[in-house]
Amino acid sequence: MLLKFTKMHGLGNDFVVVDAVSRKVFFNKPQIERLSDRHTGIGFDQLLVVEPPTHPDMDFRYRIYNSDGSEVEHCGNGARCFAKFVIDRGLTIKRIINVETKRGVIQLRVQDDGLVAVDMGTPSFEPKDLPFMAEPKSGLYDLDVADETYAMTPVSVGNPHAVIKVDTLLDEQVARVGALIECHERFPNKVNVGFMQVLNEAEINLRVYERGVGETQACGTGACAAVVAGIRHGWLSNEVTAHLRGGDLRIEWQGEGSPIIMTGSAEKVFEGQIYL
């Protein structure tokens, strides 16, 4: 089958987006792995599949696959690319779009300046919601990794994150420790790992080792998780700019029971066709 696709990115976190509204498209794990290969395929961090909604009050459904073929619950950078894609392709004329995902419903708002604001839902710090094997408590959890102990905040923003506050962001730490924590036995479904450097109450530097992908240029849900962890611990204010390797995201959170609002850009790179 000849597959039409659009290559997009959100702050360097890159995606292949496929319209499965106009034409039915199904993917298996070997196909996704082949397409994601940056030498012999298209190359991407994640595959986004746009589908018709299953509920009448929704506009679309979308599914998210990592480069290893695993399906995940949520992706903030992908959500912004999704919004730009459905408008550019003429699949909707709405500027406020309600979308079904594996984790539930999200709302996307396309602003006049072209940026996309995403209602990321309400975060959870309950270990069972990631899941993370621990008793519920407030504050930090100690995680033993390769003869070292890291103070870590588990956060679910529709997908699981472990946030670690560091003084300095080091390449070796992100690569080595990120990989070890991703597959740690206390995270039975694996976890995304964020390394956060607090610059001041309104700014952080962040690098994220993503589950099933490795380090990416930017991770929207990772930025949300890091900021809400920082706010909860009193390190950050309610509006924060997260500096990621691919660019900046604005994250707003008013505290317990409130949704996270993430605002950032989405860009189309090119369109193409490839045989599955």
Annotated binding site for substrate: 13, 46, 66, 76-77, 159, 192, 210-211, 220-221
**230 DSSP β-pair partners:** none
104: alpha, beta or left, given left = phi > 0 and alpha = psi -120 to 50? left
Instruction: Indicate the SS3 state at residue 128.
Output: helix
**Residue 219 annotated to the active site:** yes
Please say if 183 is a catalytic residue: no
Catalytic residue among 81, 183, 219, 224: 219
Which phi and psi angles does 174 have, rounded to 5°?
-60, -45
Q: Which two tokens stand for residue 92?
A: 């909707």
**Runs of H (alpha helix) within 49-170:** 76-88
Tokens of 227: 């900021």
Q: Which two tokens stand for residue 182?
A: 């991703």
Comparing C-alpha atoms, which of 139, 123, 35, 34 is closest to residue 76?
123
Those residues with Cβ within 8 angstroms of residue 26's Cβ, 6 or more apart along the chain or in another chain: none
Q: How far apart are CA 25 and CA 276, in angstroms?
A: 10
Q: Which residues are annotated as a binding site?
A: 13, 46, 66, 76-77, 159, 192, 210-211, 220-221
Burial pattern 11-26, b for ≥16 Cβ within 10 A else e, equals: bebbbbbbbbbeeebe
Joined together, the tokens standing for residue 103 give 């984790």
DSSP, residue by residue, 225-245: HHHHHHHHTTSS-SEEEEEET
Coil, strand, or helix at residue 36?
A: helix
Active site members: 75, 219
